Amino acid sequence: MEKSARPRTALNECVKVVVRCRPLSEREKNEGYEEVKKARPEQKWYERLSTKTPVTNKKFDAPLQVVKVWPERGAVQVYNPKGQDKLFTYDAAYDCTADTQTMYDEMVRPLVASVLDGFNGCVFAYGQTGTGKTHTMEGTAEHEGVIPRAFRHMWAHIENSASPDVTHLVSCSYIELYLEDVRDLLAKDCKKLTIRGQELNGFYIPEMTSVVCKSAAEMVRVMRAGNRNRAAGRTDMNEHSSRSHAVFLVTVETAHRKTNRIRVGKLNLVDLAGSERQRKTGASAERLREASRINQALSSLGNVISALAENSPHVPYRDSKLTRILQDSLGGNSKTIMIANIGPASYNYDETITTLRYAHRAKAIKNKPVRNEDPKDAKLREYQAEIERLRTLIEQRRVVDKKPKRPAKPRPTPADNSEEETVSIENENILAESTIEQEKNKTEELEHQIRALEERLVQGGGGKDLLNNLNETQLILEQRNSEIAERKKREVEMQQKIELEEETATIVTNTFTTLQQEVDHKTQRLKKCLSKYACLREEMVEQREAHDSERRELEALQAALIAELRRRLLVADSFLPDAGRPAVLRARYNEDADVWELREHSGVEPLVSRPGRGRCGGAGAENVLALAPLPLPATTRPYPRRALAHQQSAASPVKKEAEMESVPVPRKPGGVRARPNTAHQRLGTAGVR
């Protein structure tokens, strides 16, 4: 993505928030969760939420669902086992019966239309792992997600607006954020990329692959090719869990010949990895590192959302690469839709509430979208200028070709005696012919270049190369659909307003004839205030509990990581030869690059022999696996005389360095020094629970 100039004036527009609740999974229906057993309430709370027959857990006969969606009010109600039910309102809410088509038509279609009009847009799916983010964004062959629908929508628009005066250029890129590395999913080796960007210009990635596409089908192919490179894995919560945050970037450039203006719309389609609890996902050692990075990035995203919602003077965008990528989408030059995915199961009550709270906070974020008109980095302008330059070059060549040329020298007759002259004339003719041939080839090459550039652009009435052509009836149908969607959206807004107004109107319109009436009324208001206060207190307590539980999770994660580290260090301590230790001690962890680096070799250390051989007395590396336990190392050694020790240390710089690098060795009473600890021992009791 190239750097684009920041527009000057913009109207504020809030981030639109949509909640989508997926159906109960088979596993959730069939398995009995201990939590459900514990939380089984005496009151028939489910009846308050739904008139339908409750889905019950077979083993415990307890209700499993705690979420009730009110699509007509854009509200989500969550049953709270400890107190009052929670109600959150959003721009739209979809229950498990709603399909992606409805959601796209009602919410995403207007945003994609804005992108085609030169605005930046972003749709991102957020939520706990296994709640349907990938299902919503990418979908499946039977249930298309938002991304392929957006492609088809774009091309339907391009095809139908095609005229000789309008030229389009559509390009796309696909990146993922895996363990804080940005990787190019469309490059052969998925090379790592660097994010660049300034506070005001948003982010850009200079070396990102950009593929020019000419149809929706081509874009889907590009997406699938990228998906094959995406990091995915299995967890207890999801069979195919995305282990990275994926961003599909589409740039649509439109040039109008009459006005000579170019509009550039950029659409970011983001499928975030899901937040996850270690105990629920059953994360194995290798998944732990992924999980901790995923949670870290999502926690930074949560902090950015909170800071923006509270109008905080500092927004911590630079805390993670994810927030840097989403910087323009949250509080910047973009129209943004956040799709908060939740599950209905009581088992996931805490995570659902956390997602709903963040989503509610995100509603307050104000963006400043403006149309990108004639940005400096428009590729279309570059292509047009290049085509123009090549055409002028060809024209110039033609003019030169048409100029009267020196006639070719006649072939020498036998009368022209000198043989030398004959050869030189022939050579000259051959040279002239080859120059003409070269010129011809060059002109052809230029024409070929023009054709290649023109092929990238979509132009002309009727759309000669265009697939998926929508006929007029389809267009009208789409227009009707979007009108209905717009009306429905307004209905939801009205309904929310009415509910709010009703609450205040009852208070305002009350006229008091007697003092007693006024007292009653004020008591009623006070009661309402008290109940609100109680709700807020309850929320505070819950937030504290959630925070504590998150802290405990992190501690558990830390303990697991330390345990893993201890295991590896134990292996290293047992198998790494003493001679190699100084080299190991030179290794330093580079936080920025997330790699271990070996400091410059001082030249005095001996070469490190292969682990296994050093200790096993010449046994092959394969013997590492079949080793009998090593004799335990001595834990004490005789106190060396000072002079001898000095000599020894002077004679062996390697040992000196090893000693300097190691942690200070404690002295044992009686002047006997303990043997230097192994790295494994140095960790002490950290991580042991």
Ligand X SMILES: Nc1ncnc2c1ncn2[C@@H]1O[C@H](COP(=O)(O)OP(=O)(O)OP(=O)(O)O)[C@@H](O)[C@H]1O
Q: Is 281 annotated as a binding residue?
A: no
Q: Is 134 annotated as a binding residue?
A: yes
Size of the site for ligand X (CB under 6 A): 18
Helix (H, G, I), strand (E, B) or coil at 589: strand
User: Whole-number minimum distance, CB 97 to ligand X, in Å?
Assistant: 9
Q: x/- contact string, 184-223, with ligand X (CB under 6 A)?
A: ----------------------------------------
Q: Which residues of 61-88 are buried (b: 16+ CB within 10 A; e: fewer)?
A: ebbbbbbbbbbebbbbbbbbeeeeebeb
> Which of 71, 118, 121, 130 touches ligand X (CB under 6 A)?
130
295 binds ligand X (CB under 6 A): no
22 binds ligand X (CB under 6 A): yes
Rounded Cα distance between 138 and 461, Å, is: 32
Q: Is 259 annotated as a binding residue?
A: no
> Which of 77, 120, 134, 384 touches ligand X (CB under 6 A)?
134
Q: Which positions from 308 through 367 interact with ligand X, judged by CB under 6 A?
A: 341
Q: Is 130 annotated as a binding residue?
A: yes
* Residue number, 23 or 41, with CB nearest to ligand X: 23
User: Whole-number minimum distance, CB 52 to ligand X, in Å?
Assistant: 17
Angle of helix 109-116 relative to helix 146-160, nearest 10 degrees?
Answer: 50
CB atoms within 10 A of CB 449: 16
> Which of 7, 23, 41, 676 touches ligand X (CB under 6 A)?
23
What is the signed CA dihedral for 444, 449, 452, 457, rounded to 10 degrees?
Answer: -130
Rounded Cα distance between 508 and 519, Å, is: 15
Q: Which residues pair with 264 in a beta bridge?
A: 253
Interface stretch with ligand X, choices 122-130, 252-260, 456-464, 583-591 (CB under 6 A): 122-130
Q: Is 265 annotated as a binding residue?
A: no
Interface stretch with ligand X, choices 131-139, 158-166, 464-472, 656-664 (CB under 6 A): 131-139
> Which of 73, 86, 109, 133 touches ligand X (CB under 6 A)?
133
User: Whole-number minimum distance, CB 380 to ligand X, in Å?
Assistant: 35
Q: Which positions from 57 through 96 interact with ligand X, judged by CB under 6 A?
A: none
> Which of 77, 114, 131, 354 touches ligand X (CB under 6 A)?
131
Interface stretch with ligand X, choices 46-54, 123-131, 258-266, 376-384 (CB under 6 A): 123-131
The distance from CA 328 to its chain's CA centroid, rounded to whole angstroms, is: 14
Residues 6+ apart with CB under 8 A from 227: 138, 185
Write out the H or E segment, with its range, that includes residue 366: strand 366-367
273 binds ligand X (CB under 6 A): yes
Sequence-ordered strand ranges (E) for 229-315? 232-233, 241-242, 245-256, 261-271
Interface stretch with ligand X, choices 129-137, 347-355, 409-417, 634-642 (CB under 6 A): 129-137
Q: Are 366 and 307 in contact (CB under 8 A)?
A: no
Tell me the two tokens of residue 140: 């499946």
* Residue 95 backbone phi and psi in degrees, to 5: -90, -175
* Residue number, 120 or 235, with CB nearest to ligand X: 235
Rounded Cα distance between 130 and 136, Å, is: 11
* CA neighbor of 322 nearest in space, from 127, 199, 226, 182: 182
* Residue 37 backbone phi and psi in degrees, to 5: -60, -45
Q: What is the DSSP letter of 408?
A: P
Helix (H, G, I), strand (E, B) or coil at 87: strand
* Residue number, 183 or 214, with CB nearest to ligand X: 183
Q: Is 133 annotated as a binding residue?
A: yes
> Which of 171, 242, 329, 346 touches ligand X (CB under 6 A)?
242
240 binds ligand X (CB under 6 A): yes
Interface stretch with ligand X, choices 21-29, 38-46, 51-59, 536-544 (CB under 6 A): 21-29
User: Whole-number minimum distance, CB 355 to ligand X, in Å?
Assistant: 11
User: Whole-number minimum distance, CB 487 to ligand X, in Å?
Assistant: 24
The sign one gets for the Cα dihedral 277, 541, 356, 326 is negative
Residues engaged in binding ligand X (CB under 6 A): 22-23, 25, 127, 129-135, 238, 240-242, 273-274, 341
Binding residues: 127-134
Binding residues for ATP: 127-134
